[in-house]
């Protein structure tokens, strides 16, 4: 008989849903390129387990880094848990591999759409004991903090719906 969780893991479920949206968007771009004026600003935790990047970039961005997927990118590959892309840094192409769980923000300014995750000290949603450490932000340490959709200028914070225990 499986153990019933104490609470519904809303934080983890929202995180998985948002990562699924980002994955689908990037899969479309990998297959067909960027449509119209779409482009993305993606900020990620450079210390997260599974992030692969050149040492000189990690030295320059020891905690977090923002990348822009717009004019020049190559070889975008989307995996179930990460994406890899080659970007140009000062005329030097560099390959990056970024787990979806390492993403802190995803913004498409062409349609005023964005997600931001915030790290929290407490969590609604403890991870299983066998989950590997993430050396920084982990899915269970992040919550959906803000959303912005086309035609919707209001920023909604899910914190206002959170009960204090």
Residue 118 belongs to domain with CATH number: 2.30.30.220
77 inside domain = yes
- CA angle, residues 46, 52, 58, in degrees to nearest 5: 45
Burial class (CB in 10 A: 0-12, 13-18, 19+), 155: exposed
Q: Is residue 60 part of a domain?
A: yes
Among 139-143, 146-150, 159-163, which is the least confidently predicted range?
139-143
Average pLDDT value over all residues in the chain: 76
Distances (CA, A) of 72 to 5, 39, 75, 150: 46, 11, 11, 25
- Does 89 map to a domain? yes
Full residue range of the structural domain in which residue 107 is found: 10-138
pTM above 0.95, yes or no: no
The pLDDT score that the predictor gives to residue 5 is 63
Q: Which token pair is 34?
A: 């960027």
- Answer yes or no: is 159 within a domain: no
Q: Using CA atoms, how far apart are residues 131 and 31, in angstroms rounded to an integer?
A: 32
Q: Distance from first CA to last CA of the chain, Å, rounded?
A: 28
Residue 17 covered by a domain? yes
Is there a domain that residue 163 lies in? no
Phi-psi region of 128 (alpha: psi -120 to 50; beta: other; left: phi over 0): beta
Number of domains in the chain: 1
Minimum mean pLDDT among 11-20, 70-79, 127-136: which range? 127-136
Distance in angstroms (rounded) separating the CA atoms of residues 147 and 159: 12
Structure tokens at 148: 């912005």
Q: Within a 13 Å sphere around the CA of 45, how many CA atoms are in the beta-carbon half?
A: 22
Say if 24 falls within a structural domain. Answer: yes
Report if residue 36 sits inside a domain. Answer: yes
């Amino acid at each position: 008989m499986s153990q019933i969780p104490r609470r519904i893991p809303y934080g983890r479920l929202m995180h998985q849903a948002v990562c699924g949206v980002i994955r689908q968007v990037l899969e479309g771009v990998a297959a067909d390129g960027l449509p119209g004026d779409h482009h993305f600003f993606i900020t990620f935790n450079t210390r997260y387990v599974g992030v692969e990047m050149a040492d000189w970039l990690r030295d320059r961005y020891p905690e977090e880094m923002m990348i822009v997927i717009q004019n020049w990118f190559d070889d975008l590959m989307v995996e179930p848990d990460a994406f890899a892309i080659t970007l140009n840094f000062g005329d030097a192409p560099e390959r990056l591999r970024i787990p979806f769980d390492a993403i802190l923000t995803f913004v498409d300014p062409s349609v005023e759409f964005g997600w931001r995750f915030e790290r929290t000290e407490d969590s609604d949603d403890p991870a299983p004991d066998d989950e590997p450490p993430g050396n920084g932000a982990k899915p269970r340490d992040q919550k959906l903090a803000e959303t912005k959709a086309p035609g919707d200028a209001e920023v909604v914070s899910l914190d206002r719906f959170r009960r204090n225990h």
